[in-house]
Amino acid sequence: MGKMAPPSTWCNSMRISHLCIGPLAVTLLCATQAFAQSAPTKTDADCYAQQAALEKDMRAARSRGQMLRRRQIEENLHALQARCEEAAKKDTHEARVMRQKNAVMQLRIDLDRAEEDLRNLLAEKKK
């Protein structure tokens, strides 16, 4: 039989040591940072494309003298813009939440490292 790992490195449901939290925290931190970087999302692109299409239809209706159709398209455009603004606000809020979670995670990692350094210093003093 081979040697078993020391209990300080075990990860189980009852006790998770700092050695197990570190890699998990780093993985989560990297994943959430990638998510939080707000490049235009598919939703943003869809909103812009739909708005452009409605504006084009509105101009075409106006040029043909279809004022009722133009007014209906304009109402649809305003409704779409409201939905897009709401989605943008939600994305912005989610991005802020993710950035704050990243900051908390980084502080926890720093705290774990500082506690480990303190334990090492205390262990050196006892020697």
The pTM for the full model equals 0.44
Find tokens 């989605």 and name the residue: 87
Give CA separation, 121 vs 66, 108, 109, 110, in Å. 81, 20, 18, 16
Residue-wise pLDDT tens digits, 28-57: 444 544 444 444 455 678 888 898 999 999
Whether pLDDT at 109 is above 90: yes
Domains of the chain, by residue range, sit at: 41-126
Structure tokens at 69: 């159709």
